[in-house]
Every structure is written in structure tokens, then in C-alpha cells.
Amino acid sequence: MATKGDLTKARLAESMLELIQSSGYSGTGLNAVIEHAAAPKGSIYFHYPDGKEGLGVAAVDLAAAQFGALIAEAVDAADSVPDAVRRAIDALATIVGGSDFRLGCPVSVVTLEMGAESERLREACAAAFSSWIGPTAALLESGGIGAEEARSLATVVVSTIEGAVIVSRAMKTTQPLSAAADVIAGLLEQRLPQDGGAR
């Protein structure tokens, strides 16, 4: 059972994640996190002794887990590999559009803002992207694509989705995500062996 301290620590990471999505990493101050999380003032340095950087890593790890869960749900509900990818992108489009394009991928935000400034944050972001590429590659392998090609294609899929999220936010339309879904699904249908996409 989670302790009160565990719940506070988790709440701080969740608040940091939400604020990074809406305000960016650099635009998120620790006082804003404390206020958003309704946490005691000294709680950040108690739970995250290295301050904002440690809290940023926790937020990136949380984002990785959340998108990983979204991928898993899409795979479970899909009847083919291309359908799984479409479902995952549709779920992302719902999140992005439903937030009036205020929310995007916090991992890409942290990468762009801090990747050259903090090796620890860069490594956390790299690990997050790898945690999405790995299951996507496994999904493609399950459809009959060889391991090396599956890894390469999975990297393209994740990179394309990340770019589409950014463009969707800039243009305030989910059309770039819909276009990405169409192109990725078409690409996978071409690459998958006959009936390899069926699940």
C-alpha cells in the first residue's frame, strides 16, 4: 500500500508532467509544481534532492509509461498491426485535440529544450523513446517482419508520430496526425507479409 509520502512524490511527478506539456520545461518553476500538486513547500527537495532535474526525469519516465500503456491498449484492441498503429495515433489525436492543442509529447519538449544542456535529461528522453520503439518493433515482428527491419520501421513510426504531434499543435488541427496514420498504415501494409498484419 502506498504511503502518504509515496502519493506526494507521485503527485509531484504528475504535476511536473502536466506543466511541461502546457508550459515547457524551462517555463515550469518549482513553485508552480508545488502549487499544482497542492504539496508542502519542502516536499520537492525531500522527494527529489536534486531538484528540478530529478523531477524532470521522473516526469519523462511517467510520460514513457503512459504512452507505453496507450500502445499496449491499442495493440490489445486491434485486429491487425496497421490497425494497432492507427488506434494509438487516434488516441493521441484525441488527447492533443481535446486539450485545445495545449498538450503534446513532454518527452519531445524536454529533448528540444534540455537535450544539449542536461545529459541526465537527454538520457531519460532517449530511454523513453526506446521504450516505445521496442514494443512497436516487437509488434511488427509478430506480423512477420524481420528483427532488423522491424526495429528500423519502428523508429520511423515513432519519429513520424512525434513530428506529427508537433505539427498538429502548431497548426491547431489533428490533420497531420491523421495523415501520419494513413501513411504509416499504408507503409506497414506494404512491408508486412501477406496476412502478416492479421492478429
The pLDDT, as a whole number, for residue 41 is 84
Unique residue bearing C-alpha cell 513532454: 106
Query: Among residues of the chain, what percentage have pLDDT more than 90?
Result: 87
Mean of pLDDT over the chain = 93
What mean pLDDT do residues 92-111 have? Answer: 93
Per-residue DSSP letter, 80: B
pLDDT of 198 over the 70 cut: no
The pLDDT, as a whole number, for residue 8 is 94
Q: Which residue has the higher pLDDT, 144 or 198?
A: 144
pLDDT of 103 over the 90 cut: no
pLDDT of 169 over the 80 cut: yes
The pLDDT, as a whole number, for residue 104 is 87
In this prediction, residue 109 has a pLDDT band, given cuts at 50, 70 and 90, of very high
Q: Which residue has the higher pLDDT, 193 or 170?
A: 170
Dihedral of CA atoms 179, 187, 60, 68 in degrees, nearest 10, equals 110
In this prediction, residue 193 has a pLDDT band, given cuts at 50, 70 and 90, of confident
Q: Residue 198: helix, strand or coil by DSSP?
A: strand
What mean pLDDT do residues 35-43 have? Answer: 92
Q: Residue 187: helix, strand or coil by DSSP?
A: helix
In tens, the pLDDT along 4-36 reads 888 999 999 999 999 998 899 999 999 999 999
Unique residue bearing C-alpha cell 491547431: 172
Nearest to 28 by CA among 36, 20, 38, 37: 20
Q: Angle formed by the axes of helices 4-23 and 30-37, to 10°?
A: 120
Distance in angstroms (rounded) separating the CA atoms of residues 110 and 112 = 6
pLDDT of 199 over the 60 cut: no
pLDDT of 52 over the 80 cut: yes
Other CB atoms within 10 Å distance of the CB of residue 198: 12
Query: What residue ranges do the domains of the chain occupy?
Result: 4-191
Class at the top of the CATH hierarchy for domain 4-191: mainly alpha
